[in-house]
Amino acid sequence: MRIVILDGYTENPGDLSWELIEKFGDLTVYDRTPYEDDEIIRRIGDAEIVFTNKCPISARTIDACPNLKYISVLATGYNIVDVAHAAEKGIPVSNIPTYGTAAVGQFAIALLLELCHHVAHHSEAVHQGRWESNPDWCFWDYPLIELDGKTIGIIGFGKIGQTTGRIAKAMGMRVLATGSRETDSGRAIAEYVDLDTLLRESDVIALHCPLFPSTKGIINKDTIAKMKDGVFIINNSRGPLVVEQDLADALNSGKVAAAGLDVVSTEPIKGDNPLLKAKNCLITPHISWAPKEARERIMQISAKNLESFFAGAPVNVVNGL
């Protein structure tokens, strides 16, 4: 059985092993593959199994690789695969649904705390000698914000949203949530409200919802207008949840006081992205998911997905097969 990994480097830049996958067949690992159908088709070739992280697998690619029997996404999001066409061809597509819950929730709070305290900036200022030469015993360049007693609104309250909510609640924040369904575990953390109420009452808005047609652009000029003046926005879910020009305009006007983003609409980010020049906009390069512990879980769950496929009962299938 021939197995191809199209873009393995971000999952395993050298600190993990592919041995859990290798035991299932003849494995070829490409660190990176250009996002071009012809090259993707060439690299898959006659392989029966393909793993991808962000490398797209289109209907054309699926049609051109007739031996393909199983597609596994080394991530939770699977919009890079034409899952409907794969289903028509009888090819199950699996993803990794829960590997990064703790890491992503932790990172959302890290973004928020950095916006509140500007830790990196003030450390750099000290190393530049500014504290040594300061006439007072302390200084700060930005307003420092205490979160206790403030309200965080979380859009999307599944496992990751609830993880962020638990941490925020432990810091004394009131937690509001909106999501596709209410759960007992969610009610223990947050008050479920409609979207307009969440937008109106939140001091901080965090995005943890999937990217669907109904959520694309959920942060836009109209929803921003419903928010408090000086709101913070955190997004380490999916870039296209935000209309970036609208957010940039709101940051530059002060309507949104600050944003902490780990994702943008096109990745890697393009030089003309308006958020790069927006005021008070912290951007990190899509690394919420990337602690070694989380990547080890990706490897382990991917191997279990593959084992289940070989057993004739594939799991974590996202295209109904």
Helical ranges in 155-270 per DSSP H: 159-170, 184-187, 195-201, 221-225, 244-253
Distance CA 11, CA 301 (A): 13
If one looks up domain 101-283 in CATH, what number appears? 3.40.50.720
Give the 3-state secondary structure percentages of the chain, helix then strand then coil, rounded to 5: 35, 15, 50
pLDDT in tens, 193-210: 999 999 999 999 999 998
Catalytic residue among 43, 118, 208, 238: 238
Mean pLDDT of 289-312: 97
Same fold, 2-99+292-310 and 101-283: yes
What topology is assigned to 2-99+292-310 in CATH?
A: Rossmann fold (3.40.50)
Distance CA 283, CA 270 (A): 13
Least confident of 70-79, 104-113, 162-171, 278-287: 70-79
Strands 204-207 and 231-235: parallel
Q: What is the pLDDT, as a whole number, of residue 180?
A: 83
Per-domain residue ranges for the chain? 2-99+292-310, 101-283
Is residue 267 flagged as an active site residue?
Answer: yes
- In this predicted structure, what is the pLDDT of residue 77? 87
DSSP codes joined into one string, 26-78: EEEE-S---S-HHHHHHHHTT-SEEEESSS-B-HHHHHH-TT--EEEESSS--
Number of H helices, E strands in the chain: 12, 12
78-107 pLDDT, tens per residue? 989 999 999 999 999 999 988 999 999 999
Predicted TM-score of the model (pTM): 0.93
Catalytic residue from among 22, 88, 182, 267: 267
* Backbone angles phi and psi of 241, in degrees to 5: -65, -15
Which member of 43, 118, 122, 286 is catalytic? Answer: 286
pLDDT tens digits along 253-287:
999 999 999 999 999 999 999 999 999 999 999 99
Say yes or no to pLDDT of 66 above 90.
yes
For residues 155-170, average pLDDT: 97
In Å, how far are 33, 103, 146, 153, 217 from 173, measured between CA atoms? 44, 20, 10, 10, 26
Question: How is residue 228 annotated by DSSP?
Answer: P
Q: Specify the length of the chain in residues.
A: 321
pLDDT of residue 321: 82
